[in-house]
């Protein structure tokens, strides 16, 4: 109960980053303040016995992930261990505190409602930005794509970038013609985006799609006309905003979340109808159905990053090149969560990370198997399918994004842990069993991805 304000505050901070748009708020360490508030609230809840510490399936793997990450960087770049340790502790700490502080379905719905509200706010901002006229964006000369992302609109309207170079332009600066939205946001290559950890259009798209699945659950849960309208608006709005991001991985995540929910609602009959229809949709997405002019260039850069990541792994297959070190070897991020982890943390790290993901996915899967068809457990079944759909959307994006240390991923991992505790308090016999078969399957999937991605790269000439 007392941890909830801190949780809501940190979610607001992670998603919206108000201090980046409001100058008066800059310099205030919101992340540490809200994290401290969440930690204090969790301690009070434990002291008053509002909550109790309950082991969750993913916790041992999260601890191992932290230990192995710090071990890898201690070997490869010991001078950076303190800085990276703080970043990692905050991210994994959010996961642990969310999981341990939400122990009733009422509180689960409060936090889920916050995630829905944030996704809808970002959807509105993205659509507004996408419909806004283009303006000249000024950036330091020769800064490349990073400078373009950090550029500042100067208020002059434009049609093409070259029209920005006139008597009012700044000498020695580069200009871009982008769509400018609220809170000082602007597009990049006319792809809508936000700020902070969502300044990448692909990551914004995944954040919106994962929130949509929770909205659909709240609509079915409430059965009120208001939420039916919100669900309809949400599907249209999020789909439109994701299209505006130009993110192929985001479009896949959006489709995955919708199909997962529809399959749960209507079963095999719908799958038989949707299956053939999904093929042309997926082909459109794969070919860059967002009409992006830079789609081919983006794919080439992604392939180069993947190849470099595999080269890093071959140079250090056990512990990798060290947590947080990928960009020391390549100018771009990995653009693939699997490649990022195997490059930075080696074969041991990717197995630990994969087990963490699988245990978090297996929680709602186990709940669906146990409670399907039991009216008294409808709330557990509904939030299980919502969380599973959200995780599917996120993991769809993970194949094209460097999401391993992304706070939104760890927020949803924390929600999976919270779901486990909420169910456990109502049904003490509920268990998520991890056995030998799980280890074999996860390791097999890792091996399949390792060789499969390399064969794919060879087929593309990389």
- Based on the fold, state whether residues 376 and 422 are members of the same structural domain: yes
Residue 269 is predicted with a pLDDT of: 62
Q: How far, in Å, CA of 93 to CA of 83, rounded? A: 15
Contact between 305 and 401 (Cβ < 8 Å) = no
Task: Give the model's pLDDT for residue 167.
Answer: 74
Q: What is the mean pLDDT of residues 416-445?
A: 93
Least confidently predicted of 116-125, 263-272, 313-322, 430-439: 263-272
Clarify whether residues 229 and 243 are in a common domain.
yes
Q: Of the residues 121, 145, 180, which one is the last residue of a structural domain?
A: 180
pLDDT digits over 266-311, tens only?
Answer: 666 665 565 555 555 555 544 544 455 555 566 788 888 899 999 9
Nearest Cα residue to 356 out of 67, 89, 102, 59: 59
| Lowest mean pLDDT segment, chosen from 25-29, 68-72, 141-145, 179-183 | 141-145
Segment (H or E) for 175: strand 173-179
pLDDT over 90 for what percent of the chain?
37
Q: Examine residue 272 and state whether it is found in any structural domain, yes or no.
A: yes
Same domain as 140, residue 122: no
Measure the CA–CA gap between 292 and 416, rounded to whole angstroms. Answer: 35
162 and 242 assigned to the same domain:
no
DSSP string, 100-162: HH--SHHHHHHHHHHHHHHHHHHHHHHHHHHHSPEEEEEEETT-HHHHHHT-EEEEEE-SSGG
60's CB contacts (< 8 A; 6+ apart) are none
**Separation CA 109–CA 113 (nearest Å):** 6
Residues 245 and 327 reside in one and the same domain: yes
Give the mean model confidence (pLDDT) for residues 99-105: 91
Residue 268 and residue 407 in contact, taking contact as beta carbons nearer than 8 Å: no
Q: How far is CA 156 from the centre of its chain?
A: 34
- Flag whether 47 is in a domain: no
Would the pLDDT of 443 be above 90?
A: yes
Residue 5 lies in a domain: no
Task: Answer whether residue 75 is part of any domain.
Answer: yes
Dihedral of CA atoms 237, 229, 394, 52 in degrees, nearest 10, equals 140
Average pLDDT, whole number, for the chain? 85
- Last residue of some domain: 146, 180, 214? 180
d(CA 239, CA 231): 12
Burial 320-351, CB ≥16 within 10 A → b, else e: bbbbbbbeeebeebbbbbbbbbbbbbbbbbbb
Q: Is 247 domain-assigned?
A: yes
Residue 96 lies in a domain: yes
Prediction pTM value: 0.90
Residues 157 and 287 grouped into a single domain: no
Taking the C-alpha atoms of residue 69 and residue 44, their distance in angstroms, rounded to an integer, is: 31
Region 116-132: mean pLDDT is 93
DSSP state of 335: S
Q: Are residues 75 and 175 in the same domain?
A: no
CB-CB neighbours of 431 under 10 Å: 12
Mention every residue, 6+ apart, whose C-beta is less than 8 A from residue 302: 335, 336, 400
Residue 389 has pLDDT above 50, yes or no: yes
Percent of the chain past pLDDT 70, that is, above it, reads 91
The pLDDT of residue 406 is above 80: yes
The residue to which tokens 């505790």 are assigned: 421
Q: Are residues 267 and 358 in the same domain?
A: yes
pLDDT score recorded for residue 132: 92
pLDDT, tens only, 147-185: 567 788 888 898 888 888 887 778 878 888 999 998 888
pLDDT computed for residue 268 by the predictor:
62
pLDDT above 50: residue 203: yes
Same domain, 403 and 428: yes
Q: Which domain holds residue 174?
A: 134-180
Residues 99 and 222 in one domain: yes
Total domain count, the chain: 2
What's the token pair of residue 428? 């003490």
In this structure, are 157 and 275 located in the same domain?
no
Which of 32-41, 133-142, 283-292, 401-410 is least confident? Answer: 283-292
β strands within 264-411, DSSP E: none
Residue 377 lies in a domain: yes
Confidence band (pLDDT; 50, 70, 90) for 145?
low
- Bridge partner list, 136: 177
Across 51-55, 75-79, 148-152, 159-163, least confident range: 148-152
pLDDT tens digit string along 218-274? 887 777 778 788 888 888 899 899 989 988 778 877 887 777 777 776 666 665 565
Confidence of residue 217 (pLDDT cuts 50, 70, 90): confident
The label of the residue with tokens 């208020």 reads: 155
pLDDT of residue 30: 81
- Are both 204 and 173 inside the same structural domain? no
Residue 6 lies in a domain: no
Decide: residue 48, CB within 10 A, 0-12 exposed, 13-18 middle, 19+ buried: exposed
Model confidence at 210: pLDDT above 80: yes
Query: Is residue 413 over pLDDT 90?
Result: yes
* Amino acid 189: pLDDT: 85
Are 151 and 138 a contacting pair, CB within 8 Å? Answer: yes
CA distance 154 to 134: 11
φ and ψ of 172, to 5 deg: 75, 15
SS3 content of the chain, % helix, strand, coil (to 5): 70, 5, 25
Residue 173: phi, psi to the nearest 5? -115, 155
């Amino acid at each position: 109960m007392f941890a909830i304000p801190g949780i809501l505050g940190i979610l607001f901070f992670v998603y919206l980053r108000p201090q980046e748009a409001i100058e008066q708020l800059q310099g205030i360490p919101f992340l540490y303040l809200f994290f401290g508030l969440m930690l204090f609230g969790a301690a009070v809840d434990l002291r008053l016995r509002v909550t109790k510490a309950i082991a969750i399936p993913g916790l041992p793997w999260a601890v191992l992930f932290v230990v192995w990450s710090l071990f890898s960087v201690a070997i490869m770049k010991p001078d950076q261990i303190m800085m990276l340790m703080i970043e990692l502790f905050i991210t994994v700490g959010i996961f642990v505190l969310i999981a341990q502080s939400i122990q009733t379905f009422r509180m689960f719905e409060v936090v889920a409602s916050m995630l829905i509200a944030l996704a809808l706010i970002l959807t509105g901002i993205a659509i507004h930005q996408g419909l806004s006229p283009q303006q000249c964006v000024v950036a330091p000369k020769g800064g490349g794509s990073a400078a373009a992302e950090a550029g500042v609109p100067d208020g002059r309207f434009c049609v093409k970038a070259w029209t920005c170079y006139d008597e009012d332009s700044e000498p020695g600066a580069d200009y871009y013609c982008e769509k400018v939205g609220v809170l000082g946001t602007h597009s990049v290559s006319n792809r809508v985006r936000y700020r902070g950890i969502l300044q990448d259009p692909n990551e914004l798209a995944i954040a919106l799609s994962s929130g949509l699945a929770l909205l659909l659950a709240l609509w079915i849960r409430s059965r009120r006309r208001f939420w039916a309208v919100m669900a309809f608006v949400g599907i249209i709005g999020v789909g439109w905003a994701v299209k505006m991001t130009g993110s192929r991985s985001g479009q896949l995540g959006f489709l995955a979340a919708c199909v997962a929910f529809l399959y749960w609602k209507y079963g095999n009959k719908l799958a038989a109808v949707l299956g053939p229809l999904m093929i042309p949709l997926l082909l459109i997405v794969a070919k860059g159905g967002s009409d992006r002019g830079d789609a081919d260039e983006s794919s080439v850069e992604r392939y180069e990053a993947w190849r470099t990541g595999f080269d890093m792994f071959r140079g250090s297959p056990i512990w990798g090149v060290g947590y947080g070190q990928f960009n020391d070897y390549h100018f771009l991020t990995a653009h693939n969560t699997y490649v990022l982890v195997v490059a930075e943390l080696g074969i041991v790290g990717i197995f630990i990370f994969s087990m963490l993901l699988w245990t978090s996915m297996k929680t709602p899967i186990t709940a669906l198997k146990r409670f399907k068809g039991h009216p008294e457990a409808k709330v557990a079944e509904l939030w299980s399918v919502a969380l599973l759909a959200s995780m599917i959307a996120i993991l769809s994006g993970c194949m094209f994004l460097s999401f391993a240390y992304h706070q939104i991923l760890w927020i949803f991992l924390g929600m999976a842990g919270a779901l486990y505790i909420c169910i456990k308090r109502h049904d003490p016999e509920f268990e998520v069993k991890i056995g030998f078969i799980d280890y074999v399957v996860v390791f097999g999937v890792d091996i399949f991805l390792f060789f499969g991605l390399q064969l794919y790269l060879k087929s593309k000439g990389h």
